[in-house]
């Protein structure tokens, strides 16, 4: 991983890595900041433990695992990506003839480019991911890949940078925003879609600690390092010297309910039933995501 993009300087155990507040409430493998409200994977892992060394991994295994993911998620991804794209560019007709430069940061297998280019065929969709081999052959044709090691020195400026389900994964969100803002063309925008906490978190925490532990198990991990609140999100945008242009909270899921419940290790039939009912009605019940547009000041 590029040091420049992953710096974890300033991450001190016992201090909120997002807002610097000194009171954290530690439960299981998480810490909740009593200042900004963010839920953090804790203790903070060493920077090096997050590195992905593609040299050591089998390319075939990486592609297989992305295929397995798309088998479960491609339909909902397609819907969600369309929504994210239109949140960012509500009138694609206005840009139809333009060769917009778009970056899919942390784009993984590369499905997003299909959604973009179905509405903007003249756009260039660049993709970069910490794992170069994640981009599957079947989706690679509509993407222009920038290799991870080349990204920092790449001089392309982008009209739009998308971080679709990426901001919860990055070790140092402020550094990522600062580094990406340098790559925005004049008038450019960054889009972020990332999980946030909602009422279920404080309620379970108060009334059923055991179920709260399962919720934490299913939502916070070495991969999902922070679950945001509006306050923590706004704070980090401000700290990065940027401005929030548009902000929305919505209900959005990538996988079918039983997979989330499985990840939480829930086996009780009653809780499974309740969980399934929850997910079926989640659009009415929970706003679990942040979508935002960020611009330079």
Position 237 contacts Zn ion (CB under 5 A): no
Q: Between residue 36 and residue 95, which ones bind Zn ion under the rule CB under 5 A?
A: 36
CB of 175 to Zn ion, least distance (A): 16
- Contacts of residue 90, Cβ cutoff 8 Å, sequence gap at least 6: none
From residue 165, give the alpha-carbon distance in Å to each of 106, 205, 223, 243, 266: 8, 25, 11, 20, 24
Q: For residue 231, state whether it binds Zn ion (rule: CB under 5 A).
A: no
Decide whether 25 or 57 has the Cβ nearer to Zn ion: 25
Tell me if 134 contacts Zn ion by CB under 5 A. no
Q: Residue 236, interface with Zn ion (CB under 5 A)?
A: no
Burial (CB count within 10 angstroms: exposed 0-12, middle 13-18, buried 19+), residue 158:
buried
Considering the rule CB under 5 A, would residue 16 count as an interface residue with Zn ion? Answer: yes
- Work out whether 18 is an interface residue with Zn ion (CB under 5 A): yes
CB of 184 to Zn ion, least distance (A): 26
Q: Is 100:119 a contact under the CB 8 Å cutoff? A: no
**27-35, 74-82, 250-258, 269-277 -> range binding Zn ion (CB under 5 A):** 27-35
CB of 168 to Zn ion, least distance (A): 15
Of residues 53, 55, 54, 40, the one with CA closest to residue 8: 40
Q: In the complex, which residues of this chain contact Zn ion (CB under 5 A)? A: 16, 18-19, 21, 33, 35-36
């Amino acid at each position: 991983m590029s040091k420049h993009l992953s710096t974890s300087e300033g991450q001190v155990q016992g201090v909120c890595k997002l807002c610097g507040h000194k009171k954290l409430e530690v439960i299981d493998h998480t810490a909740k900041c009593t200042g900004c409200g963010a839920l953090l994977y804790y203790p903070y892992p060493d920077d090096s433990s997050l590195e992905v060394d593609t040299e050591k991994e089998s390319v075939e295994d990486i592609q297989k695992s992305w295929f397995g993911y798309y088998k479960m998620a491609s339909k909902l991804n397609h819907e969600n990506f369309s929504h994210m794209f239109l949140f960012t560019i509500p009138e694609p007709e206005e840009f139809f003839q333009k060769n917009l430069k778009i970056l899919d940061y942390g784009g993984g297998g590369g499905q997003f480019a299909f959604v973009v280019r179905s509405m903007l065929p003249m756009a260039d969709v660049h993709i970069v991911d910490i794992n170069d081999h994640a981009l599957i052959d079947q989706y690679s044709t509509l993407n222009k890949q920038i290799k991870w090691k080349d990204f920092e020195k790449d001089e392309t400026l982008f009209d739009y940078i998308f971080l679709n389900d990426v901001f919860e994964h990055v070790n140092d969100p402020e550094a990522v925003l600062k580094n990406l803002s340098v790559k925005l063309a004049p008038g450019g925008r960054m889009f972020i879609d990332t999980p946030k906490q909602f009422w279920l978190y404080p309620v379970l925490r108060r009334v059923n600690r055991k179920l709260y532990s399962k919720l934490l198990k299913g939502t916070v991990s070495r991969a999902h390092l922070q679950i945001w609140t509006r306050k923590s999100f706004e704070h980090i945008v401000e700290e990065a010297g940027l401005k929030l242009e548009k902000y929305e909270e919505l209900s959005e899921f990538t996988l079918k309910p039983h997979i989330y419940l499985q990840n939480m290790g829930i086996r009780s039939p009653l809780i499974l039933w309740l969980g399934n009912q929850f997910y079926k009605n989640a659009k009415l019940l929970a706003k679990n995501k942040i979508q935002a547009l960020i611009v330079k000041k």
